[in-house]
Amino acid sequence: MRIFKLVGLLVLLALFIAFPQIFPNPAVTTIAIFALMFAAATTGWNIFSGYTGYISLGHAAYFGLGAYALALICQHWNIPGGYQPFLLVPVAGLAAAIIAIPLGWISLRVRRHTFVVITIAMFFIFQLLAYNLTSVTNGSIGLGLPIPISWGGNFYNFPFYYVMLAILLVAIAISWWVRNSKYGLGLLAIRDDEDRALGLGVKTGPSKLAAFVISAFIVGMVGAVWGYYVESIYPPSAFDANFDVALALMAFLGGLGTISGPILGALILESTQQYFTLQFVSSGYYLIAYGGLFLIVILLLPRGIIPTLSGRWAKYQITRQQGQQGRATLVSVLPTPGGGADSAERKEGINL
């Protein structure tokens, strides 16, 4: 089983690597870049919000910070367009992460709804700063990033595609490590009952802050590559409230707190949205199609795609086992010491 899984993942990776060679058309690769961008950012967001249950609607601040950081670095050091700015992407991510430390420390003093509101407020503070700190950000005129003049035609999108893919892989690796480590188990325990986790020796404060900073780092790197790709950044485009909502929606669609859910959600939503925008841009029908898709998902898969499907798969496995071994096993699968007959209690959803 493990071998099959590994081979499957390698084939998937090979497909992602080969994708721009098979579809070199810039219209297609542009959609792919945006889809990968959201997949990486949502995976980063999920490391904090998905695992701890603290829903942040302010990660667009770190996206913008990453973009502005890269623009400022390139400006000050006169970095020419080409491969060099990509090397500075981790630096931009680090800048976003460092700023996330005090902000996370402050906002994580509160929980649930209050936390959501505070993250939104912090996001708007950064948008306002970008507008008004004109000496640094150039205000609403925005900042330009170096333009890679030597890249032309179909090739232009290729470096951006592969860098986005690399960031996505890094984000997945971190997400996987967190999900399988003791540290990540502590985060999941925080999601279910924070005070109980604290009473079992989980250092809840530092754990939450670390997850917050890790996710800001990833989202910051994504923002930096995005800034380089779009060439010039403005306060409303770099600090975009829709970006926050998009991250949350994509993670919910795929399955909050899973590794593959946010990736799947982002790839589906962003590529369909980009496609609809291209196809029906004049008519505005794309918004209806997008909304319709969303309603269907909420009606049929309220827990998100991955948890719903894996739940059904587990159920199917159990019924198949029962079919093979008869009803006797069902009884032995569920013994109750003392015979507690309470009905099973289900708790789902997020920490709200």
Partner 1 sequence: MSLLEAQGISKSFGGIHALDMCSISVEQGSVTGLIGPNGSGKTTLFNVMTGYERVDGGQVSFGGRPITNAPPDKVFRLGLGRTFQLTRIFPRLTVMENMHVAAQRTDLKGLFSRWSSTDEQKRALDLLDFVGLTSLKNLPAGNLSYGQKKLLEFAFVLIAEPKVILLDEPAGGVNPTMINYLTERIRTLNQRGVTFLIVEHNMEFVMGLCSKIMVMHRGTKIAEGAPAEVRANPAVLEAYLGD
**Contact positions toward partner 1, by CB under 8 A?**
180-186, 188-189, 191-193, 195-204, 332-342, 344-348
Residue nearer to partner 1 on the CB measure, 87 or 345: 345
Contact 215, 96 (CB under 8 A): no
Minimum CB–partner distance for residue 188 and partner 1 (Å): 6
Burial class of residue 8, CB neighbours in 10 A (0-12, 13-18, 19+): exposed
> For residues 89-123, b (16+ Cβ closer than 10 Å) or e, as one string?
bbebbbbbbebbeebbeebbeeeeeebbebbbebb
Burial class of residue 272, CB neighbours in 10 A (0-12, 13-18, 19+): middle
Residue nearer to partner 1 on the CB measure, 30 or 308: 308
Minimum CB–partner distance for residue 245 and partner 1 (Å): 24
Residue nearer to partner 1 on the CB measure, 200 or 281: 200
Contact 271, 31 (CB under 8 A): yes
Minimum CB–partner distance for residue 181 and partner 1 (Å): 6
Please give the backbone phi and psi of residue 181, each rounded to the nearest 5 degrees, phi first.
-95, 165
Residue nearer to partner 1 on the CB measure, 327 or 342: 342
**How far apart are alpha carbons 32 and 83 in whole angstroms?**
20
Closest by CA to 76, choosing from 96, 97, 100, 92, is 92
Minimum CB–partner distance for residue 347 and partner 1 (Å): 4
Minimum CB–partner distance for residue 346 and partner 1 (Å): 6
For residue 306, the SS3 value is helix
Q: For the chain, how long is the longest CA-to-CA vector?
A: 76
**How far apart are alpha carbons 122 and 129 in whole angstroms?**
11
Residue nearer to partner 1 on the CB measure, 148 or 307: 307
Residue nearer to partner 1 on the CB measure, 54 or 161: 54
Minimum CB–partner distance for residue 330 and partner 1 (Å): 12
Residue nearer to partner 1 on the CB measure, 128 or 200: 200
